[in-house]
Amino acid sequence: MSRPGLTFSHIGIFVYDIPLMEDFYTRLLEFTVTDRGELETPNGAVSLVFMSRDPDEHHQIVLVSGRPPQLEFNVINQISLKADSLGTLRLMYQRMIEYGANDIQPATHGNAISVYVRDPEGNRLELYLDLPWYVNQPFRMPVDLSLDDDALMASLERHARSLPGFRTRSEWRAEVARKMGIAQEDS
């Protein structure tokens, strides 16, 4: 049994300073502007900037004007971007520091290592790398990215092994696939 073919594609964010936000996402995170323009909506005209890091996706993030400068509550909990390696995660962490980004917080969830940061309008971003194991969630603990790769990974694994639910990522994945009804049949 399989689920209908849906995959997550993109997110649109209402912003109040498109040039500032465009600079952050293009300069720091290397998104490329793929389109921009104006659109008439029932609430008036809005400006849009479409950005992507993948040439197969027209946009992964779209910035849309119209966000009030003062909001009592930001409904975006976080926007997460998956790193392809620990080296990439470290590079992005250093870029955030050099950029002067707000509220930079390296952390581990036991099953991933993350760097949290706020964009210029306060939306929380998570740049993360999955680890080869799983622990019960939620879990979060600060992590020291000044450790070399081997010491960092050894420390993360040692700590994860002490947490409830520790198992390999492949074991966890098989459990979730069964819950989703998409486990492969044994031959």
Roughly what angle, to the nearest 10 degrees, separates helices 149-161 and 86-99? 110
Structure tokens at 120: 């210029």
Q: What SS3 class is residue 22?
A: helix
Last residue of a domain, one of 23, 46, 68: 68
Q: What is the pLDDT of residues 123-162, one digit of tens each?
A: 999 999 999 999 999 999 999 999 999 999 999 999 999 9
Distance CA 154, CA 167 (A): 16
More confident residue, 5 or 17: 17
State the DSSP H helix or E strand holding residue 33, giving kind and residue range, or none if neither.
Answer: strand 32-41
Confidence category of residue 104, pLDDT binned at 50, 70, 90:
very high
- CATH for 46: 3.10.180.10
Residues 185 and 122 in one domain: yes
Q: What is the pLDDT of residues 51-98, one digit of tens each?
A: 999 999 999 999 999 998 888 888 889 999 999 999 999 999 999 999
- CATH for 102: 3.30.720.110
Specify the pTM: 0.87
Tell me the percentage of the chain whose pLDDT exceeds 90. 84
Residues 60 and 151 in one domain: no
Number of domains in the chain: 2
Residues 158 and 105 in one domain: yes
Could you tell me the residue range of the domain that residue 34 belongs to? 10-68
Residues 84 and 131 in one domain: yes
